[in-house]
Structure 1
Amino acid sequence: MSASAERVAPIEVAVVVLPESSIMSLASVLDPMRAANRAAGRQVFRWRLLSGEGQAVMLTCGIPIAVDGRFSSPLAGDVLLVIGGFNLERHAGRRFFATLQECARHFDIVAGIESGCWLLGRSGLLNGRKATAHWEELEDFGQAFPELTVIGDRFVTDGKYWTSGGASPTFDMMLHLITERLGPALALDVASIFVYDQMHSPTDVQPFVSLGRLEVRDPELAGAIRLMERTIERPMTIAALARRLAVSQRKLEQLFARGLSISPGAYYLRLRLQVAHRLVRDSGISMRDIALRCGFDSLSAFSRAYRREYGASPLRMRSANHAASLSKAIHT
Structure 2
Amino acid sequence: MTLPSQAARPPTAPQTLGFLLLDNFTLISLASAIEPLRMANQLAGRELYRWYTLSHDGGPVRASDGLQVTPDAATAVPLSLDMVIVCGGVGPSRSVQREHVHWLQSQARQSRRLGSVCTGSWALARAGLLDGYETSIHWECLAAMQEAFPRVALTTRLFSIDRDRATASGGTAPLDMMLNLIGRDHGRELAAGISEMFIYDRVRNEQDQQRVPLKHVLGTTQPKLLEIVALMEANLEEPIGLDELGQYVDVSRRQLERLFQKYLNCSPSRYYLKLRLTRARQLLKQTPMSIIEVASACGFVSTPHFSKCYREYFGMPPRDERLGHSRSSQSVELTVLGPAARTETSQELVSSAVLALAQARGEPTYASVPL
**Which structure has the larger Rg?**
2
Between stretches 53-62 and 189-198, larger displacement belongs to 53-62
Residue of structure 2 in register with 1:76 after alignment: 80
- Secondary structure in 1 matching 2:203: coil
Contact 1:15–1:49 (8 Å) recurs in 2: yes
- Give the TM-score normalised by structure 2: 0.57
Is 1:15 matched with 2:6? Answer: no
- Give the TM-score normalised by structure 1: 0.63
- Secondary structure in 2 matching 1:20: coil
Shift of 1:137: 1.7
Shift of 1:243: 9.8
Q: Distance in 2 between matches of 1:164 and 1:2?
A: 33
Shift of 1:103: 1.2
Residues 91, 237 of structure 1: CA spacing in aligned structure 2 closer, same or farther, 3 A cutoff?
Answer: closer
The one-character-per-residue Cα deviations of 1:76-103 (angstroms, maximum 9, x if unpaired) are: 3211111012233544322221111001
Residue of structure 2 in register with 1:127 after alignment: 131
Please identify which structure carries the higher helix content. Answer: 1
Is 1:188 matched with 2:179? Answer: no
- Secondary structure in 2 matching 1:235: helix
The one-character-per-residue Cα deviations of 1:131-174 (angstroms, maximum 9, x if unpaired) are: 12111221222121111211110101111111111121111011
Gaps of 5+ in 2: 241-248, 250-262, 264-371
Residues 247, 23 of structure 1: CA spacing in aligned structure 2 closer, same or farther, 3 A cutoff?
Answer: same
Given the alignment, which residue of 201, 219, 232 partners 1:241?
232
- Secondary structure in 2 matching 1:39: helix
- Secondary structure in 1 matching 2:54: strand
Whichever residue aligns with residue 177 of structure 1, its letter is L
- Secondary structure in 1 matching 2:227: coil
Within 5 Å, give how 1:55-70 maps onto structure 2: 55-70=59-74
Whichever residue aligns with residue 43 of structure 2, its letter is A
Q: Distance in 1 between matches of 2:147 and 2:200?
A: 34
Percentage identity across paired residues of the two chains = 30
Which consecutive segments of 4 or more residues in structure 1 shift more than 6 A?
227-232
Size of the aligned set, in residue pairs, is 236
Q: Distance in 2 between matches of 1:117 and 1:165?
A: 9
Given the alignment, which residue of 162, 165, 170 partners 1:161?
165
The one-character-per-residue Cα deviations of 1:27-68 (angstroms, maximum 9, x if unpaired) are: 011111111111111111111111121011111122111211
The one-character-per-residue Cα deviations of 1:311-331 (angstroms, maximum 9, x if unpaired) are: xxxxxxxxxxxxxxxxxxxxx
Given the alignment, which residue of 120, 132, 150 partners 1:116?
120
Query: Relative contact order, CA 8 A, sep 6+: which one is greater?
Result: 2
Residue of structure 2 in register with 1:147 after alignment: 151
Residue of structure 2 in register with 1:28 after alignment: 32
Residues 25, 240 of structure 1: CA spacing in aligned structure 2 closer, same or farther, 3 A cutoff?
Answer: closer
Whichever residue aligns with residue 138 of structure 1, its letter is L
Between stretches 227-236 and 185-194, larger displacement belongs to 227-236
Given the alignment, which residue of 38, 51, 56 partners 2:55?
51
- Secondary structure in 2 matching 1:8: coil
Residue of structure 1 in register with 2:177 after alignment: 173
Residues 56, 247 of structure 1: CA spacing in aligned structure 2 closer, same or farther, 3 A cutoff?
Answer: same
Within 5 Å, give how 1:211-222 maps onto structure 2: none
Shift of 1:119: 0.4
Q: Distance in 1 between matches of 2:226 and 2:18?
A: 44
Contact 2:14–2:47 (8 Å) recurs in 1: yes
Gaps of 5+ in 1: 210-226, 250-264, 266-292, 294-332
